[in-house]
Amino acid sequence: DIYKDKISVVGIGSMRGDVFGNGMLINPNILLLAAISHSEIFIDPNPDPEVAYKERLRLFRENKNWSEYNKNLISKGGGVFKRNQRNIELTPQIQKLLKTKKVYMSGEELAKRVLMTNVDLLYFGGVGTYVKSSEELNIYIGDKENEGVRINANDLRCFAVCEGGNLGFTQKARIEYAKNGGKINLDSIDNSAGVDTSDHEVNLKIVLNSLKKKGVINEEERIKTLKNLTDKVLNSVFWTNYHQSLAISLDEIRSSKNLSNFIKSIEVLENSIKIFKRRDFDIPKPADFETILTKDNTIVRPILGILLSYSKILIKQVLLNSQFLDTPLAQHYFFKYFPKSFVSLYEKEVNLHPLKREITATVIANYIINNTGSSFIVDFEELKEEGFIKKIESYLIMNRLLDTNDIRYEIYRNDFLIDTKKQYQLLLSLEEMIDFSVRWMIKKENKIDPILLLSYKQELKELLIKAKKRVNIINITPSQEINIFFSFQDYLKFTAAAIDIKQKTTLSFSKVAKLFFLIIDRFKINELLDAIKEYKPISKNEHLVKKELEELVEYFVVKMGIKNLKYSSFSEDIEEHFKNFLENNYKHHQKVLDEIKEFEDKKNPTLALLSHLVNSLVLSIIY
């Protein structure tokens, strides 16, 4: 926990700087072992966290350099040195910290060794490019001032890097460090909060200035309102940063499981965004993709950060070319950009914002890509703009219908309470469930009706509460809300289909939903879908077969539901009705039910077996 635990840090910057200063005050337990500013080198080999924190706070408040750090508070053997010193005598404590037997070093050599220190975090809060790849020459890097202290990425021994400043690494250096197991994003990801905060400030001022011109508020009220909104804006910005970093972590996992989706998404970006050129970001052609894969076969985070950013740009581009931004569904996301209290006071004026469409497009793009990852755009060319808008709309509707935001934030609240890998697994599982519904919705020819779909939200909630008694609630987290949701998620993915079928009958939604529940259970649909998902394809054709099998299983569930609804009357209990249906159609379904029993005993079913079983399911309803 970076806000509580002891973390060893080496930094670039001084306590005078906003980025470095604030960063080094985020946690009183930070062990700042060394720092390099443009002219000084600070080394504290064995700091007392409490003492060091108070002294850093003093320097920050008084706008002081490292040379003004109280020497009596530096641990034994430490000190402050000049970068331009020709000869610095190293104490035994500094030798131990830097793992060197050298007794003397120049200031530049000392700075280089500091950057190579084995620490938890290398924190960039200053100006300059300090790390290049082992293949790059200094002559092509620029930043002549720091050339003497610049190191190669393969010399780094830190666990993670935070780029609070710009251009601390070259992109090639980031890739090399990440490929060797280091944790690093991009400068534009790590320090995006500054730009985001400025954007919020400007957009709030546009509304406030308009209110002032109309005489609704005066200058004093304008300034007071801005000050009062500071914490709310910062909270929004922090969450955006949290979501972006989380999105990259989830995409790491996704890329190890389905690399082809990311390769295709890169092609989509190249074909759809003029300014996106893979060579500018050191993204290789598919044949050379191993150069950006880690030992775990995940795409390195600096590349995933690029894909994340440009996927958002593509979605914004598509949205701004559409009428979707003028719909009530899009409006919901526009208002989410501003603090709730501000909207409740000045909703009419907020709604007149001259950048309304741009803000709405940005919020929706962030929301979708931060949740789904950059491969959301993988089928953009196949769907074309109109179909892709339908995909965006379907995704937003399903999230609101199932209240997935509440579930996500419940998972986030379990940070440090449950294993991080478990959190990732839950979030990925949630997105897979939504994707299942989205794929079903975009295949439908008729237009999506958001109002109709969302009108079932309350009924769905009530149904889940009643159904709790029928299902064994899995205990996966301390949160009962999460446990209940994930106990039902395999059924919830058919929600949109159940609503669609309900519209064609006079039955209640609860009866139709119960029927789906019975079909899914009796024909072991979730077990079959899990087996298909777990199968690792060895060719492009097998990838296609997997996709087709999933679609055929969806087809079976929906068609089986429709056949049931056409059978006899529903005067009887729904379970009795389903039982009678199977008995009366014994010859059509018994064979596949027997095959399903055999399938349950298989540990690693082959693609041939899965194909045969799905084929039997589909044939059982063609009569």
Confidence class of residue 470 from pLDDT cuts 50, 70 and 90? low
Q: How much is the average pLDDT of 43-72?
A: 97
Predicted pLDDT at 484: 85
Rounded Cα distance between 82 and 249, Å, is 39
Predicted pLDDT at 501: 84
Predicted pLDDT at 334: 97
534 or 227, greater pLDDT:
227
**What would the pLDDT profile of 288-307 be if each residue is shown by its tens digit?**
999 999 999 999 999 999 99
Q: Which residues contact residue 437 at a Cβ distance below 8 angstroms, ignoring those fewer than 6 apart?
A: 394, 398, 493, 494, 495, 496, 497
Domain residue ranges of the chain, discontinuous segments joined by +: 7-184, 193-231, 402-493, 494-623
Q: Classify residue 121 as left (phi > 0), alpha (psi -120 to 50) or beta.
A: beta
Instruction: State percent of the chain over pLDDT 90.
Output: 72
**What would the pLDDT profile of 87-144 be if each residue is shown by its tens digit?**
999 999 999 999 999 999 999 999 999 999 999 999 999 889 999 999 999 998 988 8
Rounded Cα distance between 246 and 240, Å, is 10
Confidence class of residue 78 from pLDDT cuts 50, 70 and 90? very high
Confidence class of residue 308 from pLDDT cuts 50, 70 and 90? very high
Residue 570 pLDDT greater than 70, yes or no: no
Q: The whole model's pTM is what? A: 0.91
Question: Are 10 and 33 in contact, with CB atoms under 8 Å apart?
Answer: yes
Q: Which residues contact residue 352 at a Cβ distance below 8 angstroms, ignoring those fewer than 6 apart?
A: 210
In degrees, to the nearest 5, what angle opens at C-alpha 435 toward C-alphas 431 and 527?
85
CATH 3.40.50.720 describes domain 7-184:
yes
Could you identify the residue written with the tokens 């999105």?
247
Chain centre to alpha carbon of residue 520: 31
226 or 460, greater pLDDT:
226
**What would the pLDDT profile of 371-421 be if each residue is shown by its tens digit?**
999 999 999 999 999 999 999 999 999 999 999 999 999 999 999 988 999
Rounded Cα distance between 323 and 327, Å, is 7
Handedness of CA 158, 163, 167, 172 (dihedral sign): positive
CA distances from 101 to 46, 98, 105, 257, 499 (A): 18, 9, 11, 46, 73
Rounded Cα distance between 376 and 119, Å, is 36
Predicted pLDDT at 236: 95
Question: Are 245 and 197 in contact, with CB atoms under 8 Å apart?
Answer: no
Which burial class, exposed, middle or buried, applies to 307 when counting CB atoms under 10 A from its CB (0-12, 13-18, 19+)? buried
**What would the pLDDT profile of 245-286 be if each residue is shown by its tens digit?**
999 999 999 999 999 999 999 999 999 999 999 999 999 999
Question: Are 97 and 115 in contact, with CB atoms under 8 Å apart?
Answer: no
Predicted pLDDT at 307: 98
Q: Which residues contact residue 132 at a Cβ distance below 8 angstroms, ignoring those fewer than 6 apart?
A: 138, 141, 150, 151, 152, 153, 169, 170, 172, 173
Q: How much is the average pLDDT of 58-66?
A: 96
Predicted pLDDT at 349: 96
Rounded Cα distance between 451 and 321, Å, is 23
